[in-house]
């Protein structure tokens, strides 16, 4: 039986596909390529170009393959964009999750792993780190759209026996340590990728939003988790569901934070480049300090993150960013050969 990965051509999804293939899984990918790339999907995975919001696409996939489980990454993730265009986020994140779950129930799929977010907590109460039983008060349509999807999973589980794991990510960063995947999105808003682009001369400058938070240096503090550790949590979640595990919501983070200026300093130190940083007011929806309590994932899933190292996170992100410089000059086949052969 196959594992269906929605959004498998994107940043996190492509890492997931590689991890599943490493485990010997049969993998099917569906992606509309709005932010992902066809070349990011390994040739061993079967690829469908399509939008999960279109029932015909899902009918074809479930008709062509016997799907054991779904790992659902497809969605929109830019917080300011969700504030500017909330209906698009409710359509793409919440509405399309509804359509995916409807198709899954019809096809008899009873295992789902969902890509959720720490944004469901909104502005957290003290004390930190945040546990899963903290109040859920999303400040943005992005966070609300993910929380609504979590509720759909909960209700679908009760009505149809669906078992699921919803993983609430904190700040995902870095690139595959084997050099096979990374954050390739154009115009990305991820802090570390933006800083890497600035350091390598791909941006004239970068902006820091908010310098007056009640944090040690005045900038926001986040729990940055290496992409390979995050993907490993999904692998552990799949094992958990296969063992008969029931519905679970769990945080994914390291339990400690780095400030915006910490990340910038780490990139400057690694590259020896003093790029331009501009300072701007706070953005709506940004919390001062967000750090995860991931004890539940460690206890129930047996998750043991191994890459809690800021220098490793930064070095892998930079190595991938340098590799992307070759994209305009190489065809897809040459690029794929280079990606598979490279190591960080």
Q: Which of 48, 90, 142, 254 is catalytic?
A: 142
* Residue recorded with tokens 């992606």: 31
Quick one: 328 exposed, middle or buried, by C-beta within 10 A (0-12, 13-18, 19+)? exposed
- Residue 340's alpha-carbon distances to 11, 15, 42, 176, 323, in angstroms, are 16, 13, 9, 11, 12
Max CA distance (Å), the chain: 56
Active site residue 169: no
CB neighbour list of residue 193: distance below 8 Å, 6 or more residues apart: 183, 185, 317, 321
DSSP 8-state code for residue 292:
B
Q: What is the CA radius of gyration of the chain?
A: 19
Encoded tokens for 296: 């539940």
CB neighbour list of residue 329: distance below 8 Å, 6 or more residues apart: none
Encoded tokens for 223: 């729990």
Encoded tokens for 233: 């949590």
ω into 129 cis (within 30 of 0): yes
Neighbours of 331 (CB within 10 A): 8
Q: For CA atoms 329, 335, 338, 342, give the dihedral sign.
A: positive
Q: What burial letters (b/e) apply to 274-293, b meaning 16+ CB within 10 Å?
A: ebeeeeeeeeebbbbbbbbb
Active site members: 142
């Amino acid at each position: 039986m196959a594992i269906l990965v929605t959004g498998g051509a994107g940043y996190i999804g492509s890492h997931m596909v590689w991890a599943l293939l490493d485990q010997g899984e049969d993998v099917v990918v569906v992606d509309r390529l709005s932010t992902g790339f066809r070349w990011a999907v390994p040739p061993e995975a079967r690829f469908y170009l399509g939008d999960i919001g279109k029932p015909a696409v899902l009918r074809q996939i479930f008709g062509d393959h016997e799907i054991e489980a779904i790992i659902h990454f497809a969605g929109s993730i830019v917080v300011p964009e969700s504030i500017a265009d909330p209906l698009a986020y409710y359509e793409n994140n919440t509405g399309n999750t509804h359509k995916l779950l409807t198709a899954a129930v019809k096809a008899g799929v009873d295992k789902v792993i969902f890509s959720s977010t720490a944004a469901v907590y909104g502005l957290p109460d003290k004390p930190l780190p945040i546990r899963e039983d903290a109040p859920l008060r999303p400040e943005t349509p992005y966070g609300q759209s993910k929380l609504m999807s979590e509720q759909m999973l909960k209700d679908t589980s009760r009505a149809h026996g669906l078992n699921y794991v919803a993983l609430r990510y904190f700040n995902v960063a870095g690139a595959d340590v084997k050099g096979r995947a990374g954050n390739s999105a154009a115009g990305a808003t991820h802090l570390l990728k933006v800083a890497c682009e600035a350091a390598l001369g791909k941006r004239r400058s970068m902006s820091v939003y908010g310098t007056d938070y009640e944090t040690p240096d005045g900038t926001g503090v986040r729990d940055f988790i290496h992409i390979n550790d995050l993907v490993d949590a999904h692998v552990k979640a799949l094992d958990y569901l296969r063992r008969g595990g029931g519905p679970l919501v769990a945080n994914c983070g390291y339990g400690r934070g780095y400030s915006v200026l910490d990340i910038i300093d780490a990139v400057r130190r690694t590259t020896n480049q003093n790029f331009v940083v501009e300072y701007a007011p706070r953005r709506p929806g940004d919390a001062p300090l967000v750090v995860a309590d991931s004890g539940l994932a460690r206890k129930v899933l047996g998750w043991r993150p191994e890459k809690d190292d800021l220098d490793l996170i930064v070095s892998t992100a930079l190595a991938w960013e340098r590799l992307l410089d070759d994209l305009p000059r190489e065809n897809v086949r040459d690029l794929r050969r280079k990606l598979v052969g490279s190591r960080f």
